[in-house]
Amino acid sequence: GAVVSQHPSWVICKSGTSVKIECRSLDFQATTMFWYRQFPKQSLMLMATSNEGSKATYEQGVEKDKFLINHASLTLSTLTVTSAHPEDSSFYICSASSPNRGGSYTYEQYFGPGTRLTVT
Amino acid sequence: RKEVEQDPGPFNVPEGATVAFNCTYSNSASQSFFWYRQDCRKEPKLLMSVYSSGNEDGRFTAQLNRASQYISLLIRDSKLSDSATYLCVVDMGGNEKLTFGTGTRLTIIP
């Protein structure tokens, strides 16, 4: 399968600071990447769709001014959590779609290893 | 009704047994269907896509029933390494935005 990397893998920050998370597709180009959040014992929830060369689209209830997304190139998207608070502590995961070369669907989506954010 | 619904388990199954998971989805216009597995505190990893005709990959068989809006995953000859949470995932709008079920926890017992 395709490879997606994320950095950092974990971060601890103080309340009120900003944290930037990077997501890279290593062996394919991704015009679209996705950012998810997962709280303990819950399923992944889509936060936003990151589009290369244009503005991100956010899911209902996700504050675009708090979660800044930049998709600077076909292999890199960044998520910045601004003025982080303890309630933002979560597991943030990005994904990217790679063309499905063998099956009926046009794509398969691969996930980065995730970033565990703890805000104190 | 949840958009993607799974039995959360846990399923505790002896090694070598066959285990089946089911999943239902609410949107009849859903386009693409997948099973992912997620190990504790790790990212989801694609296990297999689910095609209308059903598909098999080694010990794993996935089936889709569009009329009943139902997806299944069968694991044969289960191994200890199959212990994980299995996520039913649906692309409802055909726009690559994935909706996840809450997952079914599977533990294989030696």
Query: Parallel, antiparallel, or unpaired: how do β-strands A10-13 and A115-119 relate?
Result: parallel
> Phi-psi bin for B26: left (phi > 0), alpha (psi -120 to 50), beta?
alpha
Per-residue pLDDT of chain B (110 residues; tens, 9 = 90+): 689 999 888 999 999 999 999 999 999 988 889 999 999 889 999 999 898 878 899 999 999 999 999 999 999 999 999 999 999 999 988 788 899 999 999 999 99
CB-based contact (8 Å) between A49 and chain B? yes
Which of A104, A109, A113 lies closest to B98 in CB terms? A109
Question: Tens of pLDDT along A75-109?
Answer: 999 999 999 999 999 999 999 987 665 555 667 88
Query: Parallel, antiparallel, or unpaired: how do β-strands B11-14 and B104-109 relate?
Result: parallel
Distance (Å) from the alpha carbon of B56 to chain A's nearest alpha carbon: 12
- Tell which of B96, B99, B102 to mutate to test the A interface (max A CBs under 10 Å): B96
Band of pLDDT at residue A23, cut at 50, 70 and 90: very high
Scanning every residue of chain B, which has its alpha carbon at the shortest distance from the alpha carbon of A32?
Answer: B96
Q: Which residue has the higher pLDDT, A40 or B86?
A: B86
pLDDT at A101: 55
Cβ neighbours of A114 in B, within 8 Å: 42-43
Q: What is the DSSP string of B63-87?
A: EEETTTTEEEEEE-S--GGG-EEEE
Tell me A87's DSSP state.
Answer: G
pLDDT at B31: 83
d(CA B10, CA A50): 35
Which of B43, B46, B51 lies closest to A108 in CB terms? B46
- Owner of token pair 């017992």: B109
Q: Of A84, A74, A109, which Cα lies nearest the Cα of A21?
A: A84
pLDDT at A85: 96
Cβ neighbours of B99 in A, within 8 Å: 46
Backbone angles phi and psi of B80, in degrees to 5: -55, -35
Pure H helices in A49-91? none
pLDDT at A104: 57
Scanning every residue of chain A, which has its alpha carbon at the shortest distance from the alpha carbon of B48?
Answer: A108
pLDDT at A106: 67
N-to-C CA span, chain B: 36
Contact between chains at A1 and B103 (C-beta distance less than 8 A)? no
- Owner of token pair 């990212």: B43
CB-based contact (8 Å) between A7 and chain B? no
Q: Is B94 exposed, middle or buried (0-12, 13-18, 19+ CB in 10 A)?
A: exposed
